[in-house]
Amino acid sequence: MSKKNRHPLAEVAAQRYDFVCDDKIMNIIITEFLKKAIVHLKNHLRKNKFFIKVNQGSMTRFAGSKRGNKVYAYLMDCRINPIVKALTKDGTARFITLTHQYTDAKDSWVYMRKALPKFIRKAKFESYIYVYEAHAKGGCHVHIIATKGISHDRIREIWDGHVKVKKISSPEVGAYLSKEIGKQGHIETALKHAEEGTLTDADIKKIWRFYYLLTLRMRGWGTSRDLPLAEPDDEDPTPDLINNMNNSSGGDEAKIYELPSNIVWDPRFRPYCGKVDPGDPDYTLILDCIRILNELSIFTFGN
């Protein structure tokens, strides 16, 4: 295999250890690293409060807001519309993609975090939002939706790497932001697919994105000061969560239980929101826990 066609991690191995990886060996290395990233993300989601709502024999799992989960994504989705209106009000919005050459995935995220602020200052955008994203092989690239600023040619001159610029409409802005930081911008589905052995390229990109954002303590996106969007912090959402669960359908028979930490950290437990079905790996675990809590008359809300 020629040096030009090597995977970036294979290039690192060649430089550091004088070891040349073929595609088969490289795929094994990437797969093992991806497994570690998946474990890290699951453990991140477990550091939260989980509740089970039981009604007429069915169980539904809820969680507090946690970066990467569905609740957090829902809260973000509620904040997108003002951004879409602000960026598309005068028809000058542009969608800009910044990439650069890299040999080590982690280093590419560190580089982007340092280089992006300098680029934005030079670009002189009026309003903007940027989002860090991952390639399927782990490296970082950035998408920016911006208004006004310097010309296309000048943008290409001030970035040390590849640049793509195109106009973007209001529906496209809304769809993109919803996908990346709104209701679709969570990691739960990707982790489920990993358990089921049905990972897609989109899933892998999300896994790498959240893994590097969390391990490097980076925010996933940022905006100009004039845009009314702030990333919510993880906080204790228990009171509001319980009220919302109690006000949803279920009637007087519904009961809500907070799961103890030993259940949440059991390897069988799946730290995702949604219905708990009999075929799920943690169904019996949760059902047994509910029975014990019932015997002890311990529940968060219900009759």
Pick from 10-14, 133-137, 254-258: least confident? 10-14
Best CA proximity match to 37, nearest among 142, 144, 109 = 109
The CATH number covering residue 182 comes to 3.30.70
Specify if 155 maps to a domain: yes
Q: Answer yes or no: do 88 and 196 share one domain.
A: yes
Same domain? For 93 and 191 the reply is: yes
Q: Which of 20-24, 34-38, 231-235 has the highest mean pLDDT?
A: 34-38
77 and 57 belong to one structural domain? no
The per-residue pLDDT for 228 is 67
Which tops the pLDDT comparison, 245 or 111? 111
Within a domain: 229: no
For the chain, the average pLDDT equals: 84
- Residue 303 maps to a domain: no
Tell me which of 223, 247, 264 is where a domain ends: 223
pLDDT of res. 251: 52
Counting Cα atoms < 13 Å in the Cβ hemisphere of 27 gives: 3
Give whole-number Cα distances, 218 to 113, 114, 136, 208, in Å: 8, 11, 19, 13
| pLDDT, position 34 | 86
Q: Are residues 134 and 177 in the same domain?
A: yes
Total domain count, the chain: 3
pLDDT at 41 over 70: yes
Of 80, 22, 68, nearest in space to 223 by CA:
80
- Residue 110 falls inside a structural domain: yes
CA-to-CA dists, residue 88 to 150, 155, 227, angstroms: 17, 20, 12
Q: Are 151 and 180 found together in one domain?
A: yes
Are 18 and 114 in a shared domain? no
Q: What is the pLDDT of residue 296?
A: 81
* 301 belongs to a structural domain: no
In sequence order, which ranges of the chain are alpha helices (DSSP H)?
A: 8-17, 23-46, 70-77, 80-88, 105-123, 152-158, 170-180, 188-196, 201-215, 238-247, 261-264, 283-295
The predicted model gives 123-134 an average pLDDT of 94
In a domain, 228, yes or no: no
Domain ends where: 223, 244, 260? 223
Q: Is the pLDDT of residue 10 over 60?
A: no
Give the model's pLDDT for residue 247. Answer: 54
Answer yes or no: is pLDDT of 191 > 50: yes
Same domain, 82 and 196: yes
Whether 206 and 241 share a structural domain: no
- Give the pLDDT score at 254: 81
Position 212 scores a pLDDT of 96
100 pLDDT band (50/70/90 cuts)?
very high
Counting every residue written for the chain, the total comes to 303
Percentage of residues in the chain having pLDDT higher than 90: 57
Are 259 and 165 contained in the same domain? no
Same domain? 14 vs 79: no
Mean pLDDT of 138-165: 93
pLDDT of 171 over the 50 cut = yes
65 neighbors 222 (Cβ within 8 angstroms): no
Q: What is the DSSP string of 211-279?
A: HHHHHTT--SEEE-TTS---PPPP---HHHHHHHHHHSS-GGG-EEEEPPHHHHTSTT-----EEE-TT
- Residue 112 inside a domain? The answer is yes
143 plus 282 within the same structural domain: no
Domain region containing 23? 3-44
Same structural domain for residues 90 and 216? yes
186 half-sphere exposure, CB direction, 13 A CA radius: 24
pLDDT above 70 as % of the chain: 80
